[in-house]
Amino acid sequence: MTVLPAVLDQHLSQLLGGGWRTDEAALQAHAQDNSWRHALPQAVAMPAERSQVQALVRACREHGVPLVARGTGTGTTGAAVPSAGGIVLSFARMNRILALRPQDRCAVVEPGVLNGDLQHALSPHGLFWPPDPSSAEICSIGGNLATNAGGPRAVKYGTSRDNVLGLVAVTGTGELIECGGPWTKDATGYDLTHLLVGSEGTLALIVEATLKLAPRPRAQAGLRVLYRDADCAAAAVSRVMAQPVTPAMLEFMDARSLELLRLNGAQVPQAGAMLLVEADGDDDTLPYALNALASAAEGEGLLELDVATDGSARDRLWAARRALSPALRSIAPGKINEDVVVPVSRIPELVAGVQTLSAEFTLPIVTFGHAGNGNLHVNILYHPEDPDENARAHAALPRVFELTLGLGGTLSGEHGIGLSKRDFMDRAFNPATLATMRAIKAALDPDGILNPGKVLPPG
C-alpha cells in the first residue's frame, strides 16, 4: 500500500490531533461499507469542525491524495469504500444538531447526526424528518443526503432531496459554498442544493444541512391486500396512485416473497402478490383516506383485504415486510440487492422479467419494495463460496439493469451508484449527458480528489 507523504502525515496529525488515525484497527474499521467491498485507506481523518474539513481538502489537493467521505457505512454500493486508497474522512465527530426551528419547520444539523437521533429530538415538537431508510436508527444524515436515501414513506413525503432546504459544503478546492436556506421558495440562481444531494461525495463535502420537517401525523391505519398475481397488484397500485389520497406507504411483495415468509413461519395466505398500504392523517380525515385507498385497491384479482387501525394490528400487518430481508438469508448467504425503478405501470413486466432471469440463471430472485414509486428491490440470492453460483449471480446482474432500462426505468431509487452500478451509467445516459456530469465534476473538483472512481464510468 502506498504510504502518505511524511509532510502530509505530519501536517494532518497536527491539524486533527486525536482525529488523525493511521493505526491498523482504524484503517480496517473504515475499509468497507455494507456492500462488503473492501479496500484499506492510508489514514482516517475525523474532523470536528468545517475549517478542519477545508484544511484537509486543501492538503489532499496539494499532494494529490484521494479523499473519501464516510458516514456510518450503511451504504450498499461501495460509495464509501476507499478503492483508490488515500484518506477516509469520517464525519463521526461532526454530529451536532445546531438548531431546531419548529416555527420554520426546519432543523440545522451537521452531517454526522444519526437519522434516528434527529427523529428522537424532533418528537417533542410534533415533527419528523421524512426519509426513513431501513437503517434509519443508525445511518447518518450526511449519508442520507449523499445517496438521496428514501424509504417506504417516500411515496408521500419524498426522498432526502425533497426534504433538504439548504447546504454548506466544501468543494474539491477547499472553498466553502453556501446554497439554499430556511425557506421553501427560492428562485435565486442555480439550484446547487439539489445538485449536491445524491452526488455521493464526488462534488463537494456537506458540512451542514438545513432540513425540511413535516408535522407528525396524529393517526395511522393500514391495509393488507392480496391478489391473484403481480399484474392485478400493479393495476391496483396504478389505481391507488391515480386517486386524490396519497398513501403514506405502498409496499409490494411478489409470490416468491410471500412463499419465503411462509417458509419462515409468517402467517401469510397463499397469493400471487401482496400490497401493504398505509394512510396517515388526523382522527377526522383518516377514515376518509383509508376508505379511498381501500376502494382503489379493490378490483380484478383481489383475493383478500384486511384493515388494521390500532397500533398492535398495524405492527402485525407490517411484521411480514420487516421480516422479509432477514428471511432472505435462509435461502442463501449471498445477496445482491439492487433498487431499480420503473414506471408503476411496468411493474408486472419487471417482476415477470426477473422471474425469467431467475429460471435462466437457476438462482432464486426475490422482488419487493416501494411500489408507489415504482422502486423495487431485486434480490439475487446465491452461495458466494460456490464459484459457479457466484459467477451466475454476477452475470444475472447486468441483465437486471438491461431489463430495467428497457422498461423505461432507472438504475437506482435510493441506494445510489457508487461502484456497483458505475459501469452501467453509460447505458442509462447518452454521451452528451455524461459529458455534462463530468464537466460539473471538473468544475467543483478540478483535481479529481473527491471520491475518485465513483458514480461516473471511466473515460
**Amino acid code (one letter) for 222:** G
| Residue 311: per-residue pLDDT | 80
pLDDT tens digit sequence for 9-26:
999 999 999 999 999 999
Q: Average pLDDT, stretch 153-179?
A: 97
Q: Average pLDDT, stretch 165-189?
A: 97
Please name which of 454, 374, 361 lies closest in space to residue 400, comparing C-alpha atoms: 361
pLDDT tens digit sequence for 386-416:
999 999 999 999 999 999 999 999 999 999 9
pLDDT at position 198 over 60: yes
- Per-residue pLDDT band for 265 (boundaries 50, 70, 90) equals confident
Give the orientation angle of helix 347-360 with respect to helix 387-406, to 10 degrees.
Answer: 150
CB atoms within 10 A of CB 71: 28
pLDDT at position 367 over 90: yes
Percent of the chain whose pLDDT exceeds 70: 100
Average pLDDT, the chain: 95
Query: Looking at the chain, how many residues does it have?
Result: 459
Q: Average pLDDT, stretch 193-208?
A: 98
C-alpha 414 chain-centroid distance: 3
Report the C-alpha dihedral over residues 178, 179, 182, 185, rounded to 10 degrees. 160
- Per-residue pLDDT band for 167 (boundaries 50, 70, 90) equals very high
Q: Mark out the alpha helices in 370-430 (DSSP H runs).
A: 387-406, 425-428
Q: Evaluate whether 228 touches 339 at the Cβ level (below 8 Å).
A: no
Residue 302 phi/psi, 5° resolution? -65, 130
Query: Range with the lowest mean pLDDT among 230-234, 317-321, 352-356, 419-423?
Result: 317-321
**DSSP tag of 114:** B
Cβ-based burial of 184 (10 A; exposed 0-12, middle 13-18, buried ≥19): exposed
- Per-residue pLDDT band for 1 (boundaries 50, 70, 90) equals low
Q: pTM for this one?
A: 0.94
Helix (H) or strand (E) holding 250: strand 249-254
pLDDT at position 310 over 90: no
Q: How far apart are CA 262 and CA 54, in angstroms?
A: 53
Between the alpha carbon of residue 67 and those of residues 81, 107, 138, 452, the distances in Å are 11, 28, 23, 8
Q: Which domains does the chain have, with CATH numbers?
A: 6-90 (3.30.43.10), 97-215 (3.30.465.10), 219-406 (3.40.462.10)
Q: How far apart are CA 320 and CA 314, in angstroms?
A: 11
| Residue 452: per-residue pLDDT | 98
β-bridge pairing 302-308 and 67-70: unpaired
Q: How far apart are CA 131 and CA 213, in angstroms?
A: 10
Between the alpha carbon of residue 198 and those of residues 111, 158, 418, 450, 451, the distances in Å are 14, 14, 10, 14, 13
Q: Evaluate whether 252 touches 223 at the Cβ level (below 8 Å).
A: no
Q: Average pLDDT, stretch 212-222?
A: 96
Cβ-based burial of 439 (10 A; exposed 0-12, middle 13-18, buried ≥19): exposed
List strands edge to edge, sheet with 67-70. 20-21, 43-45, 87-90, 67-70
